[in-house]
Amino acid sequence: MEPLAHPQSAPGTRRRARDLGIVIGHTATGPFDAITDVPGVRVGHTTVRRRPDVHSGVTAVVPDAVGPRTPLPAGVFTGNGYGKLTGTTQLTELGTLETPVLLTSTLSAFRVADALVGWMLQRPGCEEVRSLNPVVGECNDGFLSDIRARPVHEEHVRAALDTASGGPVAEGCVGAGTGTVALGFKAGIGTASRTPDLGGRRFTAGVLVQANFGGTLRVLGRAVTPQSMGLDADGPAPVAETGSCMIVVATDAPLDARQLTRVARRAVFALARTGASYSHGSGDYAVAFGTRPGAGAPVADAELGPLFEAVLDGVEEAVLNSLLAATTTTGFGGRTVPALPADLLLAALTAPAAPQAR
């Protein structure tokens, strides 16, 4: 086990999109350009890696004081339901979030949900709780990791929850993103934030993605493939019909569950900007929650446009950050997935566009 706690950035960390001059949208970011820019939101990772065969883990998005007695307004949107998002039906029915949101590997999701319940029942204020709705999402990391080993256990979940903190968020091959692959490259966890103005009031919207989906990468509207950058494409490729993307959106804007569901829809829509194929086997979900439901007058629907745009931009950037932060990984069965090389990406973006076929 390799538990990771904040501060999660280390010397030599690969550059993020903005470090390379790739700026998506015009809305300002928060200080860390991360979901932790939303007040009261913390993130923790536990990386579970046993080379060469296991590359997995768990990531926890932890809103302060969330619990069955102090639920937060929330919404969920399913772009394609080929996945395991535990807790979906109650979240949809009641529009409230009772636990942190945890992300992990497909076959470990059930153990993670059980461990989350155990952790929650020991929280102050939960002594008499008799019902709890854990929210746990997953992506299939079986191309690079021995998924049948189900390597994520209770101690890993508790480590991620107990070390969750604010500030910079580790991205790429950490936590639930350790073994994921997206758009032909090694991917993982990515995050971003925006500070939109809604009717004269400024709020923060932060996103975190677990990227593991198929398609052809698009950066600033331009297609980028491993072959177009001259990378070695030998060896087996991830099956196009498997994958998924789990997206978590947090905001301090005073929204109700219906409005947060609208926000969650935009988060899934944003994957199209990155080149997602939304294939048959890709489970594409977003959970959106508010951290300050009673903070001032509710935001009117007519004022939500800048927030929708902020989430679209944030998800697009978070996916790109997940790719840029990841490193080339050789895993289960000797399979290797290349990282997205920043220098070759910038060269591809500045090269003349190829003529369109007639």
**Average pLDDT over every residue of 250-277:** 97
Q: Would you say residue 333 lies in a domain?
A: no
The catalytically annotated residue of 108, 284, 313, 322 is: 284
pTM, to two decimals: 0.94
Q: Cβ neighbours of residue 343 under 8 Å, at least 6 residues apart?
A: none
Q: Would you say residue 318 lies in a domain?
A: yes
Q: Would you say residue 26 lies in a domain?
A: yes
The catalytically annotated residue of 193, 279, 282, 322 is: 282
* Encoded tokens for 58: 């768990």
Q: Is omega for the bond preceding 355 within 30 degrees of 0, making it cis?
A: no
The yes-or-no verdict on residue 8 having pLDDT over 80 is: no
Q: Would you say residue 336 lies in a domain?
A: no
pLDDT tens digits for 47-70? 999 999 999 999 999 999 899 999
- The domain of 134 spans 2-10+19-326
The catalytically annotated residue of 244, 279, 313, 322 is: 244
Amino acid at 54: V
Q: Would you say residue 291 lies in a domain?
A: yes
Q: Would you say residue 152 lies in a domain?
A: yes
Is residue 232 annotated as part of the catalytic site, yes or no? no
Q: Would you say residue 256 lies in a domain?
A: yes
Is residue 228 annotated as part of the catalytic site, yes or no? no
- Residue 126 has a CB neighbour count (10 Å cut-off) of 15
Q: Any idea what the CATH number is for the domain that residue 33 is in?
A: 3.60.70.12
Interhelix angle 257-269/305-325, nearest 10 degrees? 50
Confidence at 293, pLDDT banded by 50, 70, 90: confident
Q: Contact 341/209 with Cβ under 8 angstroms?
A: no
117: helix, strand or coil: helix
Tell me what the pLDDT averaged over the chain comes to. Answer: 92
pLDDT tens digits for 184-230? 999 999 999 999 999 999 999 999 999 999 999 999 999 998 777 87
pLDDT tens digits for 333-349? 999 999 999 999 999 89
| Total residue count of the chain as it appears in this document | 358
Is residue 193 annotated as part of the catalytic site, yes or no? no
Q: Contact 140/105 with Cβ under 8 angstroms?
A: yes
If we measure between CA atoms, which residue out of 254, 246, 301, 287 comes closest to residue 91? 287
Neighbour-count burial of 144, counting CB atoms closer than 10 A to its CB (0-12 exposed, 13-18 middle, 19+ buried): buried
Q: Would you say residue 331 lies in a domain?
A: no
Please tell me the total count of domains within the chain.
1
Euclidean distance between CA atoms 309 and 266, whole angstroms: 8
Place of tokens 């005073």: 254
What is the Cα 57 distance to its own chain's centre? Answer: 13
What is the Cα 124 distance to its own chain's centre? Answer: 28
